[in-house]
Copies of this chain bind each other. A is one copy, B any other.
């Protein structure tokens, strides 16, 4: 880990599966880190593991350089305000919520974009709580960060921490693009699985459908069995983009249905050839990214660059500040 990153004093507030895994990795890496959770049993569990876990939130975050906010998505705006009030203007705050536009808008409305960088580590397991946390959870995972133009200084620090200590790939995006992408890459697939499994459940030949289920049916309904309440909350947390991306998928389905109705083999073949090609991308060839910016320059260019890396399917592998410049390295699809 870089020398700068190693000197940081960090706190993690809300130490469930995600926050707890961040905390465990930072502690394991020798970073000075404190934890806090509203649940006293979780604080006791943290102390049992030899980690500093004050009873008061203020004692956990005061004098920290970086605070990670975990916990349930709806709690994050209030926690952000509370932590911002307990810390100084130079304290960097980031969160781990699964949608970003709402919390980014909240931060802007409260003048916090200069120190709050919305984040979303794309990792998880079926389990929950600090007892399920794993220090290696983020190794090689994608970690979205959504800096504002006035938040590039904290962003650069977080890139170092996320890449060098947490072992993840930083994917910078605007909050809007993030929510659009996850709607299509995660939320709408849950809706389709719910629609297919729901139609099967309501079918008069339900048990025969299950009996004769091909791999396509098992694949297409798998996530319909994840905990119903979590799926429902996830869909509602990104409501507008979920509905918008579902409309796109429905338009594609309309075109497919029309081709089936018209007995139009060439159109169907062309669609599946184009659609099938979408999957291997990203696992394909990548080209290196290397860009240097003047720290005194207009931040718009640097912001546009880092966002373009993530929004085009790439990620950052490093960020070094030295002699008045910042150097970004990364990979993007060739």
Interface residues of A (CB under 8 A from B): 122, 142, 144, 171, 173, 177, 180-182, 184-186, 188-203, 205-226, 228-229, 231-233, 235-236, 239, 242-243, 245-246, 248-253, 255-257, 260-261, 263, 265, 268-283, 310-315, 333
Given A207-B281, A208-B312; A268-B197 close (CB under 8 Å)? no
Known contacts A252-B202, A279-B221; A313 and B208 CB within 8 A of each other: yes
Residues of B contacting A251 in the complex (Cβ-Cβ under 8 angstroms): 199
Q: Which of B202, B207, B228, B257 contacts A273 (CB 8 A)?
A: B228
Q: In the complex, what distance in Å separates the CA atom of A268 from the CA atom of B193?
A: 13
Please tell me if the beta carbons of B189 and A217 are within 8 angstroms of each other in the complex: yes
**Assembled-state Cα–Cα distance A265/B229 (Å):** 8
Known contacts A195-B253, A225-B276; A243 and B214 CB within 8 A of each other: no
A184 to B309, CA, bound (A): 40
Q: A202 to nearest B CB, angstroms?
A: 7
- Shortest C-beta distance, A143 to chain B (Å), equals 10
In angstroms, Cα B281 to Cα A47, docked, is: 44
Residues of B contacting A282 in the complex (Cβ-Cβ under 8 angstroms): 207, 210-211, 213
Q: List 12 A-B contacts (CB under 8 A).
A: A142-B211, A180-B205, A191-B256, A191-B257, A193-B219, A195-B250, A200-B275, A207-B312, A210-B281, A219-B223, A236-B268, A246-B253
